[in-house]
């Protein structure tokens, strides 16, 4: 049908069919004051199974973005009453990075500088009205593809491939910028470094795959215990870290003791196999120092826990 009605190339239709499933769950917002134009764009998007939302001016578009989570693409007209397309995308970019949301500018204005200005303001692409269907779809599809690629790159750098928790890199990137503010304002922050005891034995006795399963289960338990309130990450191997904003070292230690006791008490179960494991934990509270120095002190406390017999929390 699409092929016949639009006289698309055969290759294009094949590619298109491949993207339909992805489109089905993708929300697109059209901001355009012209009803005719909105309906036209909506029809094109719905033909490709996108979930479409509409706003009749810039301010309404901001309202919709506020109200509806997960919009992946904004198609913004230039000339609109109230705030125009430029102002709209400037404001959108204050809240949404390029990897969170794509923007395509749209206008029937013949001003030749428009495309460049749109892109400089934060749009990913631009469409001149009137456009042919195929160009519209190519641009939408390319824009969403590059969004997905940026997201994948972000995930590779920031999410641990094995356990799904954040990486060391994410942890440092997130904490470093706010740390001096915490120091100045006297905001409490404690860090706990943990290392599974005798983990090498798990690998040696049961194989690397079971070792991996232990790491996944350990990360899952950490996420369940701390994920909602605190920042946690896998530093590497069988070492993990939690940053607890608002907790002094005593509170952090007692929280970590609870977790440690839980690891000790509840076996790691993989089918028939049941493993008893323990973890050693080192806690340090932020003083007037850098993140590196704080991490070093937590690491020293962890070393202390190891050398004093493992399966304990040290401050
Ligand atoms: P300790 O109580 O002193 O911490 O002893 P340990 O055996 O836990 O510590 P060690 O540092 O000697 O061993 C850590 C092991 O973790 C060695 C390494 O092969 C293994 N390891 C690191 N990353 C992974 C991984 O992603 N998967 C698996 N299965 N093993 C890993
Ligand atoms: Mg307009
Ligand atoms: Mg280790
Ligand atoms: Mg270890």
105-132 residue pLDDT tens: 999 888 889 999 999 999 999 999 888 8
pLDDT of 274-298, one tens digit each?
999 999 999 999 999 999 999 999 9
* Ligand 1 pocket residues where CB is under 6 Å: 162, 195-200, 203, 208, 211-212, 215, 237-238, 306, 310
The reported pTM is 0.80
| Mean pLDDT value of segment 253-274 | 97
Residue-wise pLDDT for 167-182, tens only, equals 999 999 999 999 999 9
Whose C-alpha lies nearest to ligand 1, atom 29?
211
Structure tokens, 109: 């204005």
Whether ipTM > 0.90 holds is yes
Among the atoms of ligand 1, which is closest to the Cα of residue 199? 8
If you measure from the C-alpha of residue 306 to the centroid of ligand 4, how many angstroms do you get, rounded to a whole number? 9
Q: Given ligand 1 and candidates 196, 199, 201, 216, which is best to mutate, with the most ligand atoms within 8 Å of its CB?
A: 199
Q: Best substitution site from 167, 203, 239, 277 to test ligand 1's pocket, by max atoms within 8 Å of Cβ?
A: 203
| 220-242 confidence digits (pLDDT tens) | 999 999 999 999 999 999 999 99
Q: Which of 200, 281, 308 to mutate to test the pocket of ligand 1 (most atoms within 8 A of CB)?
A: 200
Instruction: For residue 34, give the ligand nearest its CA.
Output: 2
């Amino acid at each position: 049908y699409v092929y016949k009605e639009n006289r698309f190339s055969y290759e294009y239709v094949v590619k298109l069919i491949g993207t339909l499933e992805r489109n089905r769950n993708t929300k697109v917002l059209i901001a355009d004051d012209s009803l005719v134009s909105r309906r036209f764009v909506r029809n094109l998007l719905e033909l490709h199974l996108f979930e479409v939302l509409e706003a009749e001016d810039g301010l309404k578009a901001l309202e919709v973005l506020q109200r509806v989570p997960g919009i992946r693409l904004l198609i913004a007209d230039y000339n609109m009453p109230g705030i125009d397309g430029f102002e709209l995308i400037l404001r959108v970019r204050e809240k949404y990075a390029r990897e969170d949301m794509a923007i395509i500018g749209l206008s029937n204005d013949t001003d030749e500088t428009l495309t460049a200005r749109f892109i400089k303001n934060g749009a990913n692409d631009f469409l001149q009205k009137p456009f042919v269907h195929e160009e519209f779809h190519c641009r939408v599809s390319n824009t969403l593809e590059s969004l997905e690629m940026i997201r994948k790159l972000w995930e590779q750098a920031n999410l641990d491939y094995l356990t799904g928790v954040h990486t060391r890199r994410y942890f440092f990137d997130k904490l470093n910028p706010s740390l001096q503010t915490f120091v100045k304002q006297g905001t409490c922050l404690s860090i706990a470094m943990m290392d599974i005891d005798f983990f090498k034995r798990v690998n040696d006795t049961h194989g690397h795959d079971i070792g991996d399963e232990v790491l996944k289960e350990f990360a899952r338990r950490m996420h369940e215990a701390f994920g909602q309130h605190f920042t946690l990450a896998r530093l590497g191997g069988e070492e993990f870290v939690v940053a607890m904003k608002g907790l002094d070292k005593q509170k952090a230690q007692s929280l970590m003791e609870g977790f440690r006791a839980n690891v000790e008490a509840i076996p790691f179960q993989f089918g028939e196999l049941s493993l008893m494991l323990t973890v050693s934990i080192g806690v340090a509270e932020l003083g007037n120092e850098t993140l590196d120095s704080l991490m070093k002190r937590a690491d020293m406390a962890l070393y202390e826990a190891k050398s004093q017999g493992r399966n304990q929390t040290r401050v």
